[in-house]
A and B are shown apart, each in its own frame.
Chain A
Amino acid sequence: MLKKRLLLTVAALLLATANVQAAEVTLLNVSYDPTRELYTEFNAAFAKEWQKLSGDKVRFRQSHGGSGKQARGVIDGLEADVVTLALAGDIDAIAERAKLLPADWQQRLPYNSAPYTSTIVFLVRKGNPKGIKDWNDLVKPGVSVITPNPKTSGGARWNYLAAWGYAINQNNGDEAKARAFISALFKNVPVLDSGARGATTTFVQRGLGDVFLSWENEAFLALKEFGADKFEIVAPPLSILAEPSVALVDKVVDKRGTRKVAEAYLNYLYSPQGQEIAARNFYRPRLPEVARKYEKQFPALQLLTIDKDFGGWKQAQKKHFDDGGIFDQIYQPGR
Chain B
Amino acid sequence: MAATISMLKGASNSPVGLARSEENVWIKRGLIIVTLLFLGFFLFLPLAAVFSAALEKGFGAYFASFDDPDALAAIKLTLIAAGIAVPLNLVFGLAAAWLIAKFNFAGKSVLLTLIDLPFAVSPVISGLIYVLLFGLQGWFGPWLAEHDIKIIFAVPGIVLATVFVTFPFVARELIPLMQEQGSDEEQAALVLGANGWQTFWRVTLPNVKWALLYGVILCNARAMGEFGAVSVVSGHIRGMTNTIPLHVEILYNEYNFVAAFAVASLLAILALLTLVAKSLVEWRARQELAAALEPTMIKD
The total of Cβ contacts below 8 Å across the A-B interface reads: 83
CA distance A18 to B159 in the complex (A): 15
CB distance from B123 to the nearest CB of A (A): 16
Which residues of A come within 8 Å of B, CB atoms?
2-3, 6, 9-10, 13-14, 16-18, 28, 30, 33, 36-37, 61-65, 73, 75-79, 97-98, 197-198, 201, 225-226, 255
Write out the residue numbers on chain B whose beta carbons fall within 8 Å of the beta carbon of A9: 84
Stretch at the interface among B19-27, B147-155, B207-215, B266-274: B147-155
CA distance A65 to B80 in the complex (A): 25
Write out the residue numbers on chain A whose beta carbons fall within 8 Å of the beta carbon of B152: 76-78
CB distance from A3 to the nearest CB of B (A): 7
CA distance A310 to B136 in the complex (A): 32
Interface contact A63-B237, CB-CB below 8 Å: yes
Write out the residue numbers on chain B whose beta carbons fall within 8 Å of the beta carbon of A3: 91
Can you list 8 A-B contacts (CB < 8 A)? A6-B84, A10-B159, A18-B149, A61-B240, A62-B238, A63-B236, A77-B152, A197-B253
- B225 sits at the interface (CB 8 A): no
Among B80, B145, B255, which residue has its beta carbon within 8 angstroms of that of A77? B145
Against A, the Cβ 8 Å flags (1 = close, 0 = not) of B254-291 are 11000000000000000000000000000000000000
- B135 sits at the interface (CB 8 A): yes
CA distance A106 to B136 in the complex (A): 23
- B46 sits at the interface (CB 8 A): no
Among B87, B134, B141, B235, which residue has its beta carbon within 8 angstroms of that of A63? B235
Among A37, A65, A226, which residue has its beta carbon within 8 angstroms of that of B236? A65
- B230 sits at the interface (CB 8 A): no
Write out the residue numbers on chain B whose beta carbons fall within 8 Å of the beta carbon of A78: 152-153, 235, 237
Interface contact B238-A61, CB-CB below 8 Å: yes
CA distance A63 to B135 in the complex (A): 17
Among A28, A61, A76, A225, which residue has its beta carbon within 8 angstroms of that of B136? A76
Range of interface residues on B (Cβ < 8 Å): 20 to 34
Interface contact A28-B237, CB-CB below 8 Å: yes
Closest CB pairs A-B (n = 6):
A77-B136, A76-B135, A78-B235, A17-B154, A78-B153, A197-B253
Write out the residue numbers on chain A whose beta carbons fall within 8 Å of the beta carbon of B137: 75-77, 97-98
CB distance from B261 to the nearest CB of A (A): 12
Which residues of B come within 8 Å of A, CB atoms?
80, 84, 87-88, 91, 131, 134-138, 141, 145, 148-150, 152-156, 159, 235-240, 250, 252-255
Write out the residue numbers on chain A whose beta carbons fall within 8 Å of the beta carbon of B88: 6
Write out the residue numbers on chain A whose beta carbons fall within 8 Å of the beta carbon of B91: 2-3
Interface contact A61-B138, CB-CB below 8 Å: no
Among B148, B235, B237, which residue has its beta carbon within 8 angstroms of that of A18? B148
CA distance A16 to B80 in the complex (A): 13
Interface contact A6-B87, CB-CB below 8 Å: yes
CA distance A281 to B239 in the complex (A): 23
CA distance A77 to B141 in the complex (A): 8
CA distance A232 to B239 in the complex (A): 35
Interface contact A61-B237, CB-CB below 8 Å: yes
Interface contact A17-B155, CB-CB below 8 Å: yes
CA distance A62 to B235 in the complex (A): 10
Interface contact B238-A17, CB-CB below 8 Å: no
Known contacts A13-B156, A78-B152; 9 additional CB pairs below 8 A are A3-B91, A6-B87, A13-B155, A33-B253, A62-B238, A64-B250, A65-B236, A76-B138, A78-B235
Interface contact B253-A201, CB-CB below 8 Å: yes
Write out the residue numbers on chain B whose beta carbons fall within 8 Å of the beta carbon of A28: 237
Nearest chain A residue, comparing its CB with the CB of B236: A63
